[in-house]
Amino acid sequence: MGNLEDKLNELRVAIDAVDDELLELILKRAQLASQVGEHKLDRGNSPFYVPSREASIIRRVLARNAEAAASEHQTKIPDEAIHGIYREIIGACLALEHPMTVAYLGPEGTFSHTAATRQFGATPKYLACGSLEMVFDEVESGRATYGVVPVENAFEGAVTPTLDLFADMERDIFICAEIQLSIHHHLFSYADNLDKVEVVISHPQPLGQCRNWLATHLPNAQLMESSSTIRAAQIVDEEKRNDNGALDWNKCAVIGPYSIVDQSELPLVKRNVEDFHDNTTRFLVIGQHDSPASGEDKTSLVMSIKDEPGALHKLIASFAGRSIGLTRIESRPSKKKLWEYVFFADVQGHRDDANVAEAIAEIQSKPGGFIKVLGSYPVSKPL
C-alpha cells in the first residue's frame, strides 16, 4: 500500500511540475501577444482581432493533436477540448492587446451567448441585447467591438431577421468569422408529468427544431413564442412568483439549452428533444472589418439584378464559369418594391482571390446588377 501511495505522490509532483511549466509558457505567450498589440498600435489601423490568424493557430494545433493520436505512445485529447483550451488562451492574450466587448442576443445562457463564449473565451466583456437589431446597432456604433448573431440552422434554414438586417444597405457591418455550434434542446417544467403540460414556451427556432417531438409527445399543447429560450424560462418563473398571472405555471414547459439550469429553478424533465441529434446552428461574428485570407475561406454576399427571365442564372453563372462553389443561396424581399428580391450567397474563396474578385466585378457590370460583399472569413469546422 505504501509503494502505491509513494508512486501516486511521485506522479502528482510530476504533474505539478508540468503545470508550472505550462503556466510559464502561457505567460511567455501573453508577453509576445502584448508585443504584437504594441506593433498594431504603431500601425494605427490594424484590427487586434484577426480571425484568419486564429483559424491558422487552431487548425495547426488540431493537426498536431491528430498526429499525436497516430503515435502509439501518445494519448489523444478530443478536438473539442483542444479547441476550448486554445480559445481561452487566445482570448486571454487578445485581451492584453485590446479590451473587447462582444454583443449577443441575450439574456445570458442563450445559444448565442454560448456561441460567443465558444469563439472569444471568458475574458471579454459580454453585452446581452434584447434583439438582433440591437446587436447590429451596438457594433455599428462602436459600443461593442464585435457581435454574434445566428444566421441559419442545418434543419430549419435561415434566420430571416438576421438576413433582413444584412440586407439593410445603410448599415456598415462586416462578417469576420463564423461559428458552428452543436445544438441540443431540453424540456423544463414544474409539471410532474408530461400529460399536465398545456403550454410550451420557447424561441421560434427551437420550437421548429423540436416540431416532430412536440407533435408526438405533446400534441395538444399550445406553442408560445418568446424572444429567447432563457426569456421563456424567466416567463414561467415570473408566473410562479406572482401565482396570479395569465399562465398556469404548473402546466407550462420550456424548451431550451442546458444552461437554463443555471438561470432558473425550472426542473429538467427531458433531455435532447430536438428532432435531429446532429442539429447545428451557424452563427456569424460581425464587426467593422472582415478577415484576411486564411487559405480556407468563405465570402458572404448580397446581390440583386434586373428582374427578367434568367436573372438568377446570370448571377450564378458568374461564379459557375470560374468554378467557384456556392455553399448557400437564399432570397429575401428587398422591402423597396413589390415582388423585388435580393439574394444572399456564400461562395467558396476569399474576396481577394482573383477568381472571386472577377466574378464580383462581372455582376456589378451587368444591367441592373448590384453586389455587396458582407465579408470574407475563415471556414469553421463543427466539433
> What are the catalytic residues?
281, 283
CA distance readout (Å), 204 to 162, 201, 229: 14, 9, 9
User: Nearest 5°: CA angle at 124, between 234 and 111?
Assistant: 35
**151: alpha, beta or left? (left if phi > 0; alpha if psi -120 to 50):** alpha
Q: Which parts of 156-219 are beta strand (E)?
A: 157-158, 174-182, 186-189, 199-202
Q: Exposed (0-12), middle (13-18) or buried (19+): which is 315, by Cβ within 10 Å?
A: buried
Q: Residue 43 and residue 20: Cα distance in Å, rounded?
A: 35
Q: Which residue in the block uniquely carries the three cell numbers 462553389?
A: 325
Task: Supply 378's cell numbers.
Answer: 475563415
> Buried b vs exposed e over 156-174: b needs ≥16 C-beta within 10 Å?
bebbeebbebbbeeeeebb
The verdict on whether omega for the bond into residue 124 sits within 30 degrees of 0, i.e. cis, is no
Residues in contact with 365: Cβ distance below 8 Å, sequence separation at least 6, in sequence order: none
Strand arrangement, sheet containing 326-333: 326-333, 341-348, 297-304, 370-378
